Amino acid sequence: MIPGFSAATAISDGGAARPRHVAIIMDGNGRWATERGWPRLVGHRRGAERVKQIVRACPELGVDWLTIYAFSTENWKRSTEEVLGLMKIFRRYIEREAVGMASEGVRMRFIGGRERLDRKLQDLMASIEARTAGNTRLNLTVAINYGGRDELTRASTRLARKIAAGEIETPTEADLADCMDTAGHPDPDLVIRTSGETRTSNFLPWQAAYSEYEFTPTLWPDFTPQHLSDILGNYGMRDRRFGGA
């Protein structure tokens, strides 16, 4: 149970529809630290702690799939110190959370291009994916070195190879989806971005074509399970028609 958070209270909303898959653009770590006069990496470390709380709250809130944007293909443009620090935080997070993820029934997977990541981090990612492969309580997907345009380019290349090999004659949307990093994952019902920015930043452009969006001014280190619960409650009042009348 998350201290100060009551799942029983949070979900007592009269049975309103809840999103099965929530995706989050976790923005504002660096700004949170800078506002306090601290190094940006302090904000990233605090943000990693917040991830643990949100992951633990999701099953209690009826969320089956959680996808989080940890590091984009554009984030390599940041200072070498910040990038190296982030990679260190990722390694520590995976090492420390591996046992807990397995015991709490969380299945952890990663999307994005792995070839640019260091070998130790790649090995840790593969290890926790294998270790949690049988878990079903929550599906956690972490986007590292991920960019939607990059994913679409790589998926198109895979699809072209299948066509050239004669495996596919007339490609469909489903064929392209099967070549994406998220093959087999349901599309997100709801995408949340913290920190007050109102752009999608190259995050799941294909998968989120019909997603609902929620932009909150709360910086990610301050984003609590109660914030998530409130947003999920608002989602239940939306009318999703998918192009219908």
Annotated binding residue 170: no
Per the annotation, does 118 bind a ligand?
no
- Is 105 assigned to a binding site? no
Q: Which of 27, 139, 145, 189 is catalytic?
A: 27
Residue 235: partners with Cβ closer than 8 Å, 6 or more residues away = 17, 18, 19, 189, 190, 212, 214
The question of whether 27 is a catalytic residue gets the answer yes
Q: Consult the annotation and say whether 32 binds a ligand.
A: yes
Whether 197 and 220 have beta carbons less than 8 Å apart is answered as no
Q: List the structure tokens of 68.
A: 């989080």
Residue 72 labeled ligand binder: yes
- The answer to whether 138 and 64 have CB atoms below 8 angstroms apart is yes
- In 150-241, the DSSP E strands lie at 190-193, 212-215
227 is in an annotated binding site: no
Q: Is position 74 annotated in a ligand binding site?
A: yes
- Answer yes or no: 150 catalytic: no
* Residue 13 counted as an annotated binding residue: no
Whether 28 has a binding-site annotation, put simply, is: yes
On whether 44 is known to bind a ligand per the annotation, the reply is yes
Is 76 annotated in some ligand binding site? yes
For 147-173, the DSSP string reads -HHHHHHHHHHHHHHHHHTTS-SS--H
Instruction: Enter the tokens of residue 185.
Output: 């994952």
Distance between CA atoms of 89 and 58, rounded to whole angstroms? 22
Q: What strands, in cross-sheet order, belong to the sheet with 21-25?
A: 106-111, 138-146, 65-72, 21-25, 190-193, 212-215
From 79, 204, 213, select the one nearest 147 (Cα to Cα).
204
Residue 200 among known ligand-binding residues: yes
Which structure tokens are listed for 88? 């260190």
Q: Is 31 annotated as ligand-binding?
A: yes
Report the binding-site residues for Mg(2+). 27, 212
Q: What are the residue numbers of the active site? A: 27, 75
Report the binding-site residues. 27-32, 40, 44, 72-74, 76, 78, 193, 199-201, 212
Report the binding-site residues for substrate. 28-32, 40, 44, 72-74, 76, 78, 193, 199-201
